[in-house]
Amino acid sequence: MIVTRAPGKLFIAGEYAVVSPAEPAVLVAVDRCITVRLTESEDAGRIHSSEYGRAPLVWRREQGGEAIVVEHRPADYVLSAISTVEELCASRGASPRYFDLDISSELDDADGRKFGLGSSAAVTVATVAALDEFYALGLSAAERFKLALLATIAIAPNASGGDLAASTFGGWIRYSSPDRAALRAHREAHGVASALECSEWAGSGVRRITPPESLRLLVGWTGSPASTEHLVKRVHTPGEAKPRPFTSFAAESRSLVDDLVAACDADDPEKALKTIRAARTLLQRLGESSGSLIETEALEHLCEIAEAQGAAAKPSGAGGGDCGIALTREDSGTTEAILTGWAAHGIRHLGLGTHREEGDIDEF
C-alpha cells in the first residue's frame, strides 16, 4: 500500500488578485490533511471516499488507451489527476496499471461540512504524489505541483493554483500564478510532458517566507460554506447591474503582499499587523465596487472581535463565508478574549497549526 498526505491551506493576503497571471499571494499550509491510500487492482480502479457516498467510484480505461472512462459519476479533481499523470506515464512508455484509492479527510467536520481549507487541492496533490510513487516517476516537488495544476485547470480553468502550491510545499509561501489559459492550450496542442517544460510558466513561482515569531495565527470558521469559483467569477466578470471592480485593485494587492513578505523577512510584527488590516480594507472595497458579499456578517463579527483586542483580522480566501484569520501577538494575552467573543457569535475556532515545510522549492 502507498500512503500520501497533503495539507489544506489558508490565504493570508492576495486573494482575488492571484487569479491573474504573475500576481502574488501569501498562503499557509495547515496541519490538517487529505490522506490517499493506493493499492494495485485488476480490471478496474475504484475510488472510495465519503464524498462519493457508500458505493465506490469505478473507473476503467478505453480499449488500448490511457483515457479514463468513469461509471456512476462525472469527472472530478481526482480523476483529472489520474488522467494527467497517466498521460505523462504514456509519454514515457510506462505500462498502465489499475489501482484503488481510499481517500479520507481532516478538512471537514463530523457532518461532512467543508471548512474551506482547500480540500480539492489537497486531494489532487495527494493523488499526484501517490501515483508518482506507484509508477516510480521520480518527480520533483515542482513537477508534482505542475501536474496538479494542469489537472485542476482541466476542471476549473480559473483556479489560481495557490492552494496547490501550499499543499505541495507546506509552510508559509509567496505564490504567483502562471497563465492557466495558455497552459491549457499548450497541453491540448502538445500534451502533458511538453506542458511541464513550456514557457507559459514564466512569471509564476513559489518562495518560502517565515512569519514573525511573536505573532500567532488564529483561524475561525463561520459555519457557512462558500463557493470560491462562483465568487471569483462574480468579482472578475461583473454584470450590467453593478460597476466593474476598481482598476487599481491588483496593484494595491501586490503592494500589500510585498509589504507582508518584507515584514515577515524582517520579523516586524507591527508592519505585519498593519498590512493585514489594510488587506481587509482592500477586500471590503473590492466587495463594494463589484457588488459581491465578500465579508459576510459573521466574518465582520470575526474581524471586529479580533480588532477590539489589538489583533489584525480579515476573511481568508474568497470570503462569502468559510474562514477568517486573525494575527495576534503571542504575549498579548488577548487570545482567550478573542476566542470567547468568537464562540459567542457562533464562530468556531479551528485550532490549526502550520504544516511542516516539504523540502526545497525547485525553480519553475
pTM over 0.85: yes
The answer to whether residues 170 and 230 belong to one domain is no
Q: What is the mean pLDDT of residues 270-288?
A: 95
Of 44-48, 52-56, 76-80, 138-142, which has the strongest mean pLDDT? 138-142
The answer to the question of residue 13 being in a domain is yes
Residue written as grid cell 482575488:
16
Query: What distance in Å separates the CA atoms of residue 80 and residue 67, rounded to the nearest whole number?
Result: 10
Buried b (16+ CB within 10 A) or exposed e, 236-262: eebeeeeeebeeebbebbbebbbbbbe
Domain-ending residue, one of 150, 175, 209: 209
The answer to the question of residue 263 being in a domain is yes
pLDDT of residue 61: 74
If DSSP codes are grouped into helix, strand and coil, which group holds residue 258? Answer: helix
Q: What is the CATH number of the domain that holds 331?
A: 3.30.70.890
Distances in Å between the alpha carbon of 306 and those of 29, 207, 324, 328? 22, 29, 10, 8
Confidence of residue 71 (pLDDT cuts 50, 70, 90): very low
Task: Using alpha carbons only, give the angle 209, 212, 213 rounded to the nearest 5 degrees.
Answer: 115
The answer to the question of residue 306 being in a domain is yes
Q: Is the pLDDT of residue 122 over 50?
A: yes
pLDDT of residue 290: 82
Would you say 200 and 190 are in contact if contact means Cβ atoms under 8 Å apart? no
H or E element, residue 326: strand 323-329
The answer to the question of residue 314 being in a domain is yes
The answer to the question of residue 359 being in a domain is no
If DSSP codes are grouped into helix, strand and coil, which group holds residue 5? Answer: strand
Q: What is the CATH number of the domain that holds 67?
A: 3.30.230.10
The answer to whether residues 197 and 219 belong to one domain is no
pLDDT of residue 351: 92
Domain-ending residue, one of 177, 209, 241: 209
Buried b (16+ CB within 10 A) or exposed e, 279-315: bbebbbbbbebbebebbbebbbbbbebbbebebbbbb
Ramachandran quadrant class, 302 (left: phi over 0; alpha: psi -120 to 50; beta: rest)? alpha
pLDDT of residue 109: 74
> Residues 6 or more apart from 219 whose CB is under 8 A from it?
10, 30, 316, 323, 324, 325, 326, 349, 350, 351, 352
pLDDT of residue 145: 97
Confidence of residue 247 (pLDDT cuts 50, 70, 90): confident
Q: Is the pLDDT of residue 41 over 70?
A: yes
pLDDT of residue 107: 85
Of 53-67, 262-276, 310-324, which has the strongest mean pLDDT? 262-276
The answer to whether residues 165 and 44 belong to one domain is yes
Report CA 306 to chain centroid distance, whole Å: 24
The answer to whether residues 16 and 152 belong to one domain is yes
The answer to the question of residue 357 being in a domain is no
**Domain that residue 343 falls in:** 215-349
pLDDT in tens, 194-222: 999 999 999 899 999 998 888 999 999 99
Would you say 240 and 230 are in contact if contact means Cβ atoms under 8 Å apart? no
Range in 54-63, 252-261, 331-340 with the lowest mean pLDDT: 54-63
Q: State the greatest distance between any 2 C-alpha atoms of the chain, in Å, as a whole number.
A: 64
Q: Is the pLDDT of residue 112 over 90?
A: no
The answer to the question of residue 309 being in a domain is yes
Which cell goes with 82?
A: 489520474
Confidence of residue 346 (pLDDT cuts 50, 70, 90): very high
The answer to whether residues 205 and 336 belong to one domain is no
Query: What distance in Å separates the CA atoms of residue 25 and residue 260, rounded to the nearest whole number?
Result: 10
Domain-ending residue, one of 152, 180, 209: 209
Would you say 175 and 13 are in contact if contact means Cβ atoms under 8 Å apart? no
The answer to whether residues 175 and 283 belong to one domain is no
Q: What is the mean pLDDT of residues 249-254?
A: 94
Which cell goes with 321?
A: 463565508
Q: Is the pLDDT of residue 267 over 50?
A: yes
pLDDT of residue 33: 95
The answer to whether residues 108 and 144 belong to one domain is yes
Backbone angles phi, psi at 35, to 5 degrees: -115, 130
Range in 12-16, 78-82, 215-219, 241-245 with the lowest mean pLDDT: 241-245
Confidence of residue 289 (pLDDT cuts 50, 70, 90): confident
Q: Is the pLDDT of residue 73 over 60?
A: no
pLDDT of residue 11: 96
The answer to whether residues 117 and 190 belong to one domain is yes
Range in 226-235, 264-273, 346-355 with the lowest mean pLDDT: 226-235
The answer to whether residues 170 and 78 belong to one domain is yes
Range in 3-7, 110-114, 214-218 with the lowest mean pLDDT: 110-114
Residue type, 328: T
The answer to whether residues 91 and 116 belong to one domain is yes
Residue written as grid cell 491588483:
250
Written in H, E and C, the secondary structure of 293-324 is CCCCHHHHHHHHHHHHCCCEEEECCCCCCCEE
> Residues 6 or more apart from 336 whose CB is under 8 A from it?
none
Q: Is the pLDDT of residue 355 over 50?
A: yes
The answer to whether residues 237 and 264 belong to one domain is yes
> pLDDT > 90: what percent of the chain?
67
Range in 27-41, 80-94, 172-186, 244-258 with the lowest mean pLDDT: 244-258
The answer to whether residues 179 and 67 belong to one domain is yes
The answer to the question of residue 143 being in a domain is yes
Would you say 46 and 100 are in contact if contact means Cβ atoms under 8 Å apart? yes
Backbone angles phi, psi at 344, to 5 degrees: -65, -20
pLDDT of residue 166: 96
Counting the structural domains of the chain, the total is: 2
